[in-house]
Structure 1
Amino acid sequence: MPDLTEDALRRSGIKRSMRVLDLQCGTGEASLLIARLTGYCGLVVGVDRSAEAVDAAERRATLAGCCYWTRFVTADPTAFVPHGRFDAAVVRLPLLRQVKRVTFLRLSDCVRPGGILLVLGKPAGDVDSILHRFGSRLS
């Protein structure tokens, strides 16, 4: 994910005190970038199906000093049901390509009305039309 920077996250609308869900977070690289922006008054929840990746992400959060407002969960990102809604959700495009429309509909329930859905990856093919339809639903 070399193109993701704090500046890009700021431009997407991620800011201090937000609650952000990070699906398919891996070892937490994006989660920790987001945590720097949300600060201690925010919350970042990273979800990944790999227990090893989640362990690595938790260690990285502790070393970065943001383990109090960054949580990681070992779960299937396509089936994870959070407690409450988030201000933003970050999802990787390969995950959306696996389950397509079902995930978009579920994501709309995870993000508050007017919230942010940040898709990481390069759109191509049939996913483009799904992205367009879903974008109008969050507004």
Structure 2
Amino acid sequence: MIDTTRQLDAHYDALARDAGERLLTRLQAAFRSAGQDPERLSPDATAGIDQLHLGGRQASRALARHGALGPGLRVLDVGCGTGGASRLLAAEHGVEVIGVDITAAFVEVAEWLSRATGLEARTRFLCADAARVPLPAASVDVVWCQHALMNMPDLPVVLGEWRRLLVPGGRVLLHEVVAGDNPAPLALPVPWARRAATSHLASRASLAGSLAEAGFRDVHLEDVTDTALAWRRKHGRRQASPEGAARPLPGPALIFGDDFATMGRNLHDNLADGRVRILEGVWRLA
């Protein structure tokens, strides 16, 4: 766990290491510069820093529709990052969400953003390894995971932990990057890795096989690569041609640094030529 934590901190919190400024401090200052009160924020204002996955809120809402979420359900958001999906699910579906992430800076920001958006009562966050979540057995109804498994080197252990945490008949909702059929090396860096050694992409077949071995059966499984690629192209054009706002809202470059634009272009290229694919799916614990 120590090596994995260091590797992920070096990737997701690189600016704090290089500039000596906490991610929380940097983001709060950016909101002030944009004319926003960092203690009173809307979901629209925070979307640029809390939807760190392809498709943004649109992708989260699509997955939630397939998951039949509703009030009273307990959801574990694995690899929650800065907590955007956790807050969206709490606000729009009335669920209670626990987000877990191994990167301490993300958890600190997630807690702040939940307070700032008025959702702290329905979301809480833990800094922990997804393979060892400090929660009791059978304590959640749904495991939610978007663009996080590719940072987890021991998938069977993680899936075994999900099985432990879920109630009988519980569901897993995934929106994930997987290896495509093109065997060419990834164009790097990408949003989840700067080096090949820290990217742990499974193929569609191996992911499905691992889930089946862990006791999950698929209820819905769809390749949504074309939708994700269209979204990436749209946002790539927007980033290349800013609209000229005098005080733009904070975006992912404040997290990933100056090479975020390169990450976005590489992700587009990896999607376009089949080196990676995007899957959306729902599985039920047998």
- Give the TM bin, normalised by the shorter chain: 0.7 to 0.9
Equivalent residue for 1:13? 68
| Pair 1:55-2:55 in alignment | no
- Structure 1 residue 89, shift from structure 2 partner: 0.7
In 1, Cα distance between equivalents of 2:82 and 2:120: 14
| Pair 1:87-2:141 in alignment | yes
Q: Which moved more, 1:84-93 or 1:125-134?
A: 125-134
User: Could you say what secondary structure the match of 1:107 adopts?
Assistant: helix
State the structure with more CA Rg.
2
Task: Indicate conservation of the 8 Å contact 1:93/1:119, yes or no.
Answer: no
User: Could you say what secondary structure the match of 2:69 adopts?
Assistant: coil
Runs of 4+ that moved beyond 6 A: none
In 1, Cα distance between equivalents of 2:114 and 2:61: 16
Instruction: Tell me which amino acid in the other structure corresponds to 2:99.
Output: G
In 1, Cα distance between equivalents of 2:143 and 2:164: 11
Task: Indicate conservation of the 8 Å contact 1:88/1:117, yes or no.
Answer: yes
Change (3 A) 1:105 1:128: same
Task: Indicate conservation of the 8 Å contact 1:20/1:87, yes or no.
Answer: yes
Equivalent residue for 1:33? 88
Change (3 A) 1:30 1:113: same
Instruction: Tell me which amino acid in the other structure corresponds to 2:126.
Output: V
- Structure 1 residue 83, shift from structure 2 partner: 3.1
Which structure 1 segments of 5+ residues have no match?
Answer: none
In 1, Cα distance between equivalents of 2:174 and 2:168: 17
- Structure 1 residue 77, shift from structure 2 partner: 1.9
More strand by share: 1
Change (3 A) 1:122 1:49: closer
| Pair 1:44-2:97 in alignment | yes
In 2, Cα distance between equivalents of 1:51 and 1:93: 18
In 2, Cα distance between equivalents of 1:103 and 1:49: 13
In 2, Cα distance between equivalents of 1:61 and 1:86: 20
Task: Indicate conservation of the 8 Å contact 1:18/1:38, yes or no.
Answer: no
Task: Indicate conservation of the 8 Å contact 2:63/2:175, yes or no.
Answer: no
Equivalent residue for 2:207? 127
Q: Which moved more, 1:106-115 or 1:83-92?
A: 83-92
Backbone CA RMSD of aligned residues: 2.0
Task: Indicate conservation of the 8 Å contact 1:27/1:54, yes or no.
Answer: yes
Equivalent residue for 1:2? 54
| Pair 1:69-2:150 in alignment | no
- Structure 1 residue 95, shift from structure 2 partner: 4.4
Task: Indicate conservation of the 8 Å contact 2:149/2:155, yes or no.
Answer: no
Count of residues in Structure 1 that have an aligned counterpart in Structure 2: 136
Which whole-Å deviations, capped at 9, do the CAs of 1:41-60 have from their partners, x for residues lacking one?
x4200011122101111111
User: Could you say what secondary structure the match of 2:80 adopts?
Assistant: coil
- Structure 1 residue 131, shift from structure 2 partner: 2.5
Task: Indicate conservation of the 8 Å contact 1:90/1:117, yes or no.
Answer: yes
